[in-house]
Amino acid sequence: MTPSNAPLQLENSTLLIDAGYVAGEWVRKSQSNKTFEVLNPSTGTVLATLPDMGRGEVKAAIDAAHTAQKDWAKKTGKERGAVLRTLYDLMVANVDDLAAILTAEMGKPLAEAKGEILYGASYVEWFAEEAKRISGDIIPGHQPDKRIMVLKQPVGVVASITPWNFPNAMMARKLAPALAVGCSFVAKPSELTPLSALAMALLGEQAGLPKGLFSLITTTASADVGKEFCANPKVRKLTFTGSTSVGKILMRQSADQVMKTSMELGGNAPFIVFNDADLDEAVEGAMISKYRNNGQTCVCANRLYVQSGVYDAFAEKLVAAVKAINVGDGFDDEVNAGPLINEGAVAKVKEHIADATSQGAKVAIGGRPHKRGGTFFEPTVLTGVTRDMKIASEETFGPVAPLFKFETVDDVIEQANDTEFGLASYFYANDLSQVWKVTEALEYGMVGVNTGLISTEVAPFGGIKQSGQGREGSKFGVEDYLEMKYVCLGGIPS
């Protein structure tokens, strides 16, 4: 264990990097000479000071990526996959150090951070294998002297913008399929958590990624970088994970180029418990879904609907489980909930609780900033929550479980779907006919049935409605990085 006030201790100290990575070069001074600090949200300690880059560095990175992509695309899938496999091996070999960096910059408990590193690495391994399986098609011809082929080719330069809550996994889920099919990659991680991405860039360099193929922009000028990504004609695809409001801005900006985009946006996940559910399993699933990463995930349960027959029993069991959560510094033993990312996150959680309680909701446990101070917050359960409260329509992104009571299947389906979002959903039930009905009726890209943990590299991750477009992971995950080309071969003698 590293004491919370001690310098970050790594077995491989080179993984903690104080530079950006542009066109194959480590850059410690930005063109503007501006810098920004990366802080530990648990202690306020400065972890690194990084160059605050702008559109000049972004253009240089895109130019290099445009050049490097041509030769990378000429390599066989097996050759590209071998490099990615080496990157996977390096991530696994350095998992402890990568987890320590992640905990330091983001705050999540060390065991959870290690789980994220291995989760991110699983995407690199998966797409290393998929690199050999990019297949086209042969279509029966429409005339005797013609043959029809369909080719799959890489889109070219990919621009990526990722959030702070999963700084390793979000990067890996986008980088791996792009590189697997023959694209190049220019990334902008969150300015709050860029160190995990920089460590991955170093490992990518060591794995054998060609110079210029992968660049990483460190910056606080998110809007300017986004504009360059969308306006630069050498960028052929933008992949973004973040809020729906920012995703809409990027989609508008990229429309002038009719740019290929994939968007993983906000969520407002329902978690439904029916009368016939196994309550112990439902509570376990709720704890995983709601309180993992302290509620700071796009797929976490935001609205917990419990049928009237088991409402009180479920609430009692959930409160008992929440009491066992140990809040503290992510490096401390036994801690399973770290701080919220910043004061803005705390303010939103407080706002949602205040709004709910002012309209009749009751705090069953928690409800206040934690006695540790800073951005720590007590894990919270609210009962008596109704659909006219803010927490019913807005994503909280914090450790608050609001319990709604419902009576019928049709009623809860209507309430669960009453949102512009459609990312993840969950429900617990044992009646097979009910399972099928609810699964088919929920308007979400992902449905967890009798489980609160659905993320895996082998399944397509993504949403519908205003939660985004495109999928990450699985055999479908490469499609967003490919173009389809139809070839008609004529002049073939019959």
Which residue in the list 105, 116, 130, 298 is annotated as catalytic?
Answer: 298
- Strands of 184-188's sheet, edge to edge? 25-27, 20-22, 214-216, 184-188, 157-161, 235-241, 260-264, 468-469
Query: Is 298 a known active-site residue?
Result: yes
Residues 6+ apart with CB under 8 A from 215: 21, 22, 23, 24, 61, 64, 65, 185, 186, 187
Instruction: Kindly calculate the radius of gyration of the chain based on its CA atoms and give it in whole angstroms.
Output: 23
Residues 6+ apart with CB under 8 A from 363: 353, 357, 380, 381, 382
Strands (E), 333-406: 362-365, 380-385, 400-406
Query: Is 112 a known active-site residue?
Result: no
What does the DSSP 8-state code read for residue 266?
A: -
Count Cβ atoms below 10 Å from residue 128 Cβ, excluding itself: 24
Do the beta carbons of residue 47 and residue 40 sit within 8 Å?
A: yes
Q: Cα–Cα distance between 107 and 230 in angstroms, integer? A: 32
Do the beta carbons of residue 187 and residue 215 sit within 8 Å?
A: yes
Q: Cα–Cα distance between 413 and 305 in angstroms, integer? A: 10
Q: Cα–Cα distance between 174 and 177 in angstroms, integer? A: 6
Q: Cα–Cα distance between 140 and 277 in angstroms, integer? A: 51
Count Cβ atoms below 10 Å from residue 455 Cβ, excluding itself: 19
Chain position carrying tokens 């033993």: 333
Which residue in the list 57, 228, 264, 395 is annotated as catalytic?
Answer: 264
How much of the chain is in helix, strand and coil states, percent to nearest 5?
Answer: 40, 20, 35
Q: Cα–Cα distance between 168 and 164 in angstroms, integer? A: 9
Strands (E), 16-146: 20-22, 25-27, 35-39, 46-51, 137-139
Q: Cα–Cα distance between 290 and 63 in angstroms, integer? A: 42
Query: What element of type H or E holds 241?
Result: strand 235-241
Q: Cα–Cα distance between 386 and 189 in angstroms, integer? A: 37
Q: Cα–Cα distance between 172 and 126 in angstroms, integer? A: 11
Q: Catalytic amino acids?
A: 264, 298
